[in-house]
Chains A and B, each alone.
Chain A
Amino acid sequence: MQLSKEFLQYDADLQAIIAEVTNFAPSSVTTVNRRSFIKLAGFAGGGLVLAFNLDTSAAHASTLTGAAAGTPEATTILNSFVRIAPDNTVTVFSKGPEIGQGIKTAFGLIIAEELDADWKTVKVDQAPINPKVYGYQGAGGSTSIPRGWDQLRQAGATARAMLIAAAAQQWSVPVTECTASNSTVIHTKSGKKLTFGALAKSAATQPVPDVTKVPLKKTAEYKLLGKRYTGVDNLKLVTGQPIFGIDIQMPGMLYANYTKCPAVGGKVKSFNADEIKKMPGIVDAFALDGNGNPAEVMPGVAIIAKSTWQAFKAKAALKVDWDESSASKDSSTAATAKAKELATKMPAPANNIGDVDAAFASAAKVVESAYDYAMISHQQLEPQVTTAWWHDGCMELWTPSQQSDRGLAMVTAMLKLTDDKVTVHQTRAGGGFGRRLANDYMCEAAAIALKVPAPVKLQWKREDDFAHDFFRAGGYHFLKGAVDKSGKLSAIQNHLVTFAADGTRPVSGGNRSNNSFPVDMAPNVRYAVSLMPLQIPCGPWRAPVDNVQMFVAGSFLHELGIAANRDHVEFLLEWFARPLAAPPTQGPPPDLSRSYNPTRAAGVLKLAAEKSGWGKKLPAGRGLGIAFGCSYGGHIAQAVELTVDAKKKITVHKITVVADIGPVINMSGAENQAQGGSIDALSSAMGLAISYENGRIQQTNFGDYPILRMKGAPPVEVHFIQSDFRPAGLGEPCVPPLAAALGNAIYAATGDRVRTMPFKRAGFSI
């Protein structure tokens, strides 16, 4: 069935989001000029307030071109600030959403380091959502840290220079005789001291120095970065304070639920409105046509109640007669059968490098394998929720989105309002994992609120989250690889069978990654893609694309190494050193801190081998597997040591992670992300699968979607190689290589090769 333009808009949007975070250019994170920092006057309480621009991306610049001819001051859009108050408090504005990646703490630390602030005095506030001022305000692609690194450091260093200048003036001494430490400026000769708070007002009268000349610290000079810090909101979290999207409470607020057709695309013919409206606490019930975009508003029935529970009870009694003429008929069993059929019909290759046939003909060993992976769902623990209030011709929203800036634009366009009539407040998010890059719940809340004369909190049930996700697409790989007589990888043929919404390109997250499975992975390559139609929406899931491609690449490389009778670490090190294709000549130059780097790859692999005890003798049934991935700016090697019993039950003894993400900002946060990412990857590799028949998702709640519990969670030992590259984020990079390391360990333990995810499909359990 041909999907409508409105429906396909979701796929275009999500593909654009992935492109934005994977392809952002170095210029977007390093642009600085001497007018990067501006003093702000008139802040309540006074003190030194330095505003600066925390995003100079091309997308952002395009919104400013109208003012480009004006004065430099007029065109400098300031979107973040650091404030030093007379009471010694340092306040930092964090513009992106906190979704559990620890960004608020990291942003505060980066500024505090260059400022030489006492960390205990630093407070981090959430910025409002306004992409015209703030540019990109998403949390995606592990890009918040690399985007903010330069500007945050410069902000700290600039404020420090102004505080020192103020002190030097007061003491009538040269600034070169002064230094700062622990929120205090010190005159080194006399030992005189003044706190930042005491200097804040006079610092605000100092000229802003030329930012290009303010020195930044060298790694060896760091006093704060790289140590362990507890998250800035942890006290609130452990005492149950209301900081999440679901916690919004407003006077007179009503509660809504929205029921859509279980097969995406179905429309409401009728529903038992009279019966529903008579139920206790029900204020209203009405159908919405929606706008046909699954990432905005699909047709459904809204129930408005005086409490969440009353809305849920009415939902249970809701009977909708759906028009399913345009609804999904997708079937996962049919897709698997179709993929097998397509396996033998390789289309014209999208890429041809060298002479694959000649390499196969002269190979010492040829290996043919078929890999597949299931569709999976996100299931962040806080179900979708947004509070919306339509008042005075304005739409005001409170949301835990990961991409509230796009949500704001969507709501504004959908309701045909002007920019000044829509306000979005960012709350903390109870997880994201990529699900909240889409803003369907925000759009639904806005559409519902138009018909409700009070603030209304749209609360999805967990079952809604299962039925209506932007799933990680499943996929099928038919591979043929060769090693030559010297034991080197000589050829790869990869036929990917995946899904398309629009019939022309893989769905968001279903395409090939140039990092984890680069086309030039061998001297001779043939790569082809077959597409199968899919109406069920797909989208980014933590480390999109890489989280499946690396399973296939990392496992198949192991197969080839085994065929060549090579030690796998040696085989990979040799593979890392292969000649690489020249970078593309079109478009922005590649960002070297985020590109595959053979030296960094070898560094993490060697250390992972050392720390995991690679090569040690293991008893029967016990195995060690290793894999590498370059993903979202991180170079990661993971080793898994496990035992497999006679019933194929796995006990993972230890996961070893070695990450090169440049300098570590908060060792505690970084280790937590590496551990969580590894266990999340273990969880999805072992047991998670979404199936669908007649367009309906078969899994409904955690009972049939066994996300790993503490019982199956192994110790995760984390090591960092702190290279001098610009730091990467760490929300995603530790996910992709894990499944291959796990499969390689199972092979080492048993001789069984797992070529399907989840591994439970091959009979393994944890």
Chain B
Amino acid sequence: MPFQLNINRKPHTVDIDADTPLLWVLRDELDMKGTKYGCGIGACGACTVLMDGRPIRSCLTPVSAATGKITTIEGLADNGKLHALQQAWIDLDVAQCGYCQAGQILTAASLLAEKPRPTDADIVSAMTGNLCRCATYNRIKAAIHQAAGSPADTKGDTHAAL
């Protein structure tokens, strides 16, 4: 059946089974491959997108429930200008394999929207649902601090910008 979606500030109509997770609508129907499949049970966070600014697990969100404004990693930059987090991710060379990073960045974007100057504890609390199998956690934390314009407050987490 048809569903109206608002993704990255643009309307989309998809004709699809109502229980299809948003993840597969994005990937298979709309050819937006930035959102990743990791576990299918909401445990790893690779499929994180924002709905009305809040992080959701697109692998568990049926298309019928995706009624808000969806932001995926493809839509995080504004008119070609990278979000501060994307820039910090590049500057601090956060990624290893990079597979989880879209979900990490979107979760962090939601955190910064709510708390522009998060503490280490805020970051850990917000980010612990997002698994990084390569364990780039030190750098994810440092990049969020950098994007927020706040210095890292845990010894050993500092990484000079490139």
Contact = CB atoms under 8 A, between A and B. Distances in A.
Contact of B43 (A233, A242, A430, A702): A702
A42 interface: no
A233 B135 contact: no
Scoring B31, B94, B141 by chain A CB atoms within 10 A of each residue's CB, the highest score goes to B94
Q: Say which size band chain A's interface belongs to.
A: 35 or more
B33 interface: yes
Contact of B124 (A102, A431, A676, A711): A711
Interface in A345-384: 379-383
Given A307-B28, A309-B20, A382-B99, A229 B162 contact: yes
Given A100-B97, A381-B44, A230 B90 contact: yes
B36 A430 contact: yes
Contacts of A382: 36, 38, 97, 99
B73 interface: yes
A363 B65 CA distance: 72
A178 to B, nearest CB: 31
Contacts of A654: 155-156
Contacts of B146: none
Contacts of A229: 93, 162
Contacts of B131: 381, 702, 707, 709
Interface string B81-116: 010001001111111111111100100000000000
Interface stretch (A182-190, A327-335, A441-449, A713-721): A713-721
A432 B133 CA distance: 10
Nearest to A248: B33
Contact of B135 (A231, A241, A675): A675
B162 A701 contact: no
Interface string B8-39: 00000000010011001001110111111111
Contacts of A459: 37
A462 B159 contact: no
A239 B32 CA distance: 11
B137 interface: yes
A280 B135 contact: no
Q: Is the contact region of chain B dominated by helix, strand, or loop, or is it mixed?
A: loop
B133 A381 contact: yes
Contacts of A53: none
Interface stretch (A619-627, A642-650, A666-674): A666-674
Contact of B95 (A234, A310, A433): A234
Interface in B102-161: 102, 105, 123-124, 127-141, 154-157, 159-160
B156 to A, nearest CB: 3
B41 A710 contact: no
A249 B31 contact: yes
Given A228-B162, A229-B162, A715-B157, A431 B133 contact: yes
Given A240-B34, A679-B135, A235 B155 contact: no
Interface of A: 99-102, 228-231, 233-235, 237-242, 244, 246-247, 249, 255, 280, 307-310, 312, 379-383, 428-433, 459, 461-463, 654, 668-669, 671-673, 675-676, 678-680, 683, 701-703, 707-711, 713-717
Given A381-B133, A710-B137, 7 more contacts: A381-B131, A430-B97, A668-B93, A672-B139, A676-B135, A679-B137, A701-B43
14 contacts: A228-B93, A237-B95, A237-B98, A239-B73, A240-B34, A308-B28, A381-B38, A429-B97, A431-B97, A654-B156, A671-B159, A675-B135, A710-B141, A715-B138
